[in-house]
Amino acid sequence: MLKTHACGELRLEHAGQEVTLAGWVHRRRDHGALIFIDLRDREGIVQVVVDAENAPEAHAVADRARAEYVLQVHGRVRARPEGFRNPNLPTGDVEVVAHKVTILNPSKTPPFYIYDDTPVDESLRLKYRYLDLRRQRMQRNLILRHHVVNEIRQYLNAHKFLEIETPLLIKSTPEGARDFVVPSRLHPGKFYALPQSPQQLKQLLMVAGFERYYQIARCLRDEDLRADRQPEFTQLDLEMSFVEQEDILNIIEGLYIHLVEKLLPHKRIKFRPFPRLTYEEAMSRYGSDKPDLRFGMELVDLTDVVAESKFRVFAQTVSQGGQVKGILVPGAANYSRKELEQLESHVKPYGAKGLLWMAFREEGIRSPAAKHLTPGEVQAIRERVQAQTGDLLLIVADQPDVVAAALGNLRLVMGDRLGLRDPNELAFAWVVEFPLLEWDEEEARWVAVHHPFTSPIPEDWALADTDPGKMRAQAYDSVLNGWEVGGGSIRIHRSEEQAKMFELLGITQEQAQAQFGHILEAFQYGAPPHGGIALGIDRLVAIFADETSIREVMAFPKTTSAQDLMLGAPSPISEEQLRELHLAIVLDE
């Protein structure tokens, strides 16, 4: 090794020792005869002192060193004198007095500072990702990610899971996105699909008798662009045989607790056991199927209270099958009119026509709706929401899906404003009993809410021919602090039920045979009852690292427009490659 110690490991107990260090010049301070270099490696930073008088050659080399030069330093560790210690640095009690400094490699001036985390334009960060990754925040995030994956393996191995790899070159396995495809050179005109998930393969591993499988699996989905989406991402993918829903939830609950106890001593799990909300409950109480349960501020239904009101906004909405709901924001009654008006911008993008407010102030109730409501109605509303003096009620009257989306979002905004979303609190929860199917207007057919391999709740098979929209799935989502971090289901394991499901989804028998014949056939050879789940590792690590974007916890992410700015992908390929692959490019006009 070119070094005997890591920069970041040196402590008082090393004082007096001769050490050899190697790392990058984090910062350099030139005091003439004394040059101070903060030398950085993966373990941290230590101060190196180079004294012109005692080590003139070393000083001459240090004089040439600049930010991000790679140095090797031979020196002796010494305790810093009292008053010169740096309590903010783990190595701050010591410094290394250099007697020899070697430049292992110089560096161009980096396009941004490595030594602090001042914001830098993201495209510059992504173009020079190898430099961006040198920064402390990114080092910390990727190291945390490593530990998360390592602890996942430890925990699952201890629970008798087997890690099994599945191929990347497969046939389409639908998760509701478009496939990335790979042209076959050996089979002209044919394509492999890259897996949107290992879904079918892990089910086939259950048919194969492995009983407990997991994989840290890359998933590839050619989806439309969205702010925090990546065309490839990583899942903890898992499947178990001879289980019921509750068994899977318990395994995962144990895994989360394990991760937090091992890696996040500064964070608290808010509820144990994790609450289980039905989809309907989550939508009606929080306006979201991934509710942030760190705080209350639940949606309160006022529909019945105002159904008979003369106030047109309410009466009309109710008569058209709509709802009137509100959230009570504690202590916000004194928001200015302007502030209140601005809140509307948080509901309008969700289709709400407006936002009504009712402020319960010392001097009385203020509301633009007050003059349209009878005192009895105002009192009934106040009682329903249990408002105290000082509270602010925010009301949306609209169709149920609009009310849910608008108030669900507003609730999060108000939660942020009131500081109720503490990053050190982890409110894990389960959302269960999702609908099995949803109607796709465009395609004029039912589509699977989760995926076509999800089993309905057994008694709901009875609705298949009469009211498929009412069928509930044995599907569950893992939610954390307002994010969906995973989802899974108990699967169909009988061939005829799987065939029935394809039929419900408007897939003809021929199509089903062509696309999914393998799984229909496999289920005829004694497929065990089974189910599983997949957790989004990127999202999970982002939350654990207090990051809002998954790009901050991926080594080499793509931009929001799916480009790799460092590698320059996607890029054209040569004529020769195209010919080999039997492809011709046809560009749209």
By CB under 6 A, the count of residues binding ligand ASP is 9
10 in contact with ligand ASP (CB under 6 A): no
Q: Which is nearer to ligand ASP, 74 or 290 (CB)?
A: 290
Distance CA 35, CA 588 (A): 61
Residue 28 pairs with which residues in a beta bridge?
37
CB of 532 to ligand ASP, least distance (A): 4
Q: Which is nearer to ligand ASP, 323 or 489 (CB)?
A: 489
Half-sphere exposure of 515 (CA within 13 A, CB side): 14
487 in contact with ligand ASP (CB under 6 A): yes
CB of 217 to ligand ASP, least distance (A): 9
CB of 546 to ligand ASP, least distance (A): 25
Burial class of 264 by CB neighbour count within 10 A (0 to 12, 13 to 18, 19+):
middle
The residue length of the chain stands at 589
Q: Which is nearer to ligand ASP, 308 or 438 (CB)?
A: 438
- The residue range among 288-296, 305-313, 483-491, 573-581 that interacts with ligand ASP, by the rule CB under 6 A, is 483-491
535 in contact with ligand ASP (CB under 6 A): no
CB of 173 to ligand ASP, least distance (A): 8
- Rg of the chain in Å (alpha carbons): 30
- The residue range among 161-169, 354-362, 366-374, 532-540 that interacts with ligand ASP, by the rule CB under 6 A, is 532-540
Of 256, 196, 191, 203, nearest to 231 (Cα)? 196
Binds ligand ASP by CB under 6 A, chosen from 489, 542, 543, 547:
489
Distance CA 24, CA 2 (A): 13
175 in contact with ligand ASP (CB under 6 A): yes
166 in contact with ligand ASP (CB under 6 A): no
Q: Which is nearer to ligand ASP, 177 or 562 (CB)?
A: 177
CB of 485 to ligand ASP, least distance (A): 11
Q: Which is nearer to ligand ASP, 202 or 325 (CB)?
A: 202
Q: Rounded to whole angstroms, what are the CA distances from 310 to 305, 354, 434, 452, 485?
A: 12, 18, 37, 47, 44
Of 589, 289, 286, nearest to 410 (Cα)? 286
Q: How many other C-beta atoms can be found within 10 angstroms of the C-beta atom of residue 165? A: 10
CB of 237 to ligand ASP, least distance (A): 6
Residue pair 476/488 in contact by the 8 Å Cβ criterion: yes
Q: Which is nearer to ligand ASP, 173 or 309 (CB)?
A: 173
x-or-dash string of contact with ligand ASP, 366-385, rule CB under 6 A: --------------------
Q: Give the per-residue SS3 of 94-142.
A: EEEEEEEEEEEECCCCCCCCCCCCCCCCHHHHHHCHHHHCCCHHHHHHH
Binds ligand ASP by CB under 6 A, chosen from 297, 533, 537, 541:
533
174 in contact with ligand ASP (CB under 6 A): no
- The residue range among 1-9, 141-149, 430-438, 484-492 that interacts with ligand ASP, by the rule CB under 6 A, is 484-492
Residues 85-104 interacting with ligand ASP (rule: CB under 6 A) = none
CB of 356 to ligand ASP, least distance (A): 38
Binds ligand ASP by CB under 6 A, chosen from 326, 415, 488, 557:
488
CB of 561 to ligand ASP, least distance (A): 23
Give the SS3 label for residue 463. helix
- The residue range among 136-144, 306-314, 401-409, 482-490 that interacts with ligand ASP, by the rule CB under 6 A, is 482-490
Residue pair 312/298 in contact by the 8 Å Cβ criterion: no
Distance CA 290, CA 301 (A): 19
CB of 213 to ligand ASP, least distance (A): 11
What tokens appear for 548 in the block? 């809002």
Binds ligand ASP by CB under 6 A, chosen from 47, 91, 199, 288:
199
Q: To 10 degrees, the CA torsion angle through 360, 366, 369, 372?
A: 110
Of 29, 109, 117, 12, nearest to 69 (Cα)? 109
What tokens appear for 268 in the block? 């608290």
Q: Which is nearer to ligand ASP, 197 or 284 (CB)?
A: 197
Q: Which is nearer to ligand ASP, 199 or 245 (CB)?
A: 199
- The residue range among 243-251, 263-271, 410-418, 481-489 that interacts with ligand ASP, by the rule CB under 6 A, is 481-489
Residue pair 223/176 in contact by the 8 Å Cβ criterion: no
Helix and strand tally (H, E) in the chain? 16, 24
Under DSSP, the state recorded for 179 is P
What tokens appear for 251 in the block? 């395994």
- The residue range among 110-118, 312-320, 516-524, 528-536 that interacts with ligand ASP, by the rule CB under 6 A, is 528-536
Distance CA 397, CA 356 (A): 8
Binds ligand ASP by CB under 6 A, chosen from 534, 537, 542, 545:
534
- The residue range among 262-270, 281-289, 486-494, 505-513 that interacts with ligand ASP, by the rule CB under 6 A, is 486-494
CB of 234 to ligand ASP, least distance (A): 11
Of 546, 18, 481, 454, nearest to 245 (Cα)? 454
Residue pair 408/287 in contact by the 8 Å Cβ criterion: yes
Please state whether beta strands 323-329 and 392-398 pair in parallel, antiparallel, or not at all (unpaired).
antiparallel
Residue pair 231/180 in contact by the 8 Å Cβ criterion: yes
Q: Which is nearer to ligand ASP, 477 or 552 (CB)?
A: 477
Distance CA 159, CA 575 (A): 51
Give the SS3 label for residue 58. helix
Residue 476 pairs with which residues in a beta bridge?
432, 488
CB of 239 to ligand ASP, least distance (A): 7
**Alpha helices, H only, 182-277:** 199-207, 245-263
532 in contact with ligand ASP (CB under 6 A): yes
Q: Rounded to whole angstroms, what are the CA distances from 563 to 106, 234, 366?
A: 30, 18, 51
Q: Which is nearer to ligand ASP, 5 or 530 (CB)?
A: 530
Q: Which is nearer to ligand ASP, 197 or 323 (CB)?
A: 197
In the complex, the residues that contact ligand ASP under the rule CB under 6 A are: 175, 197, 199, 487-489, 532-534
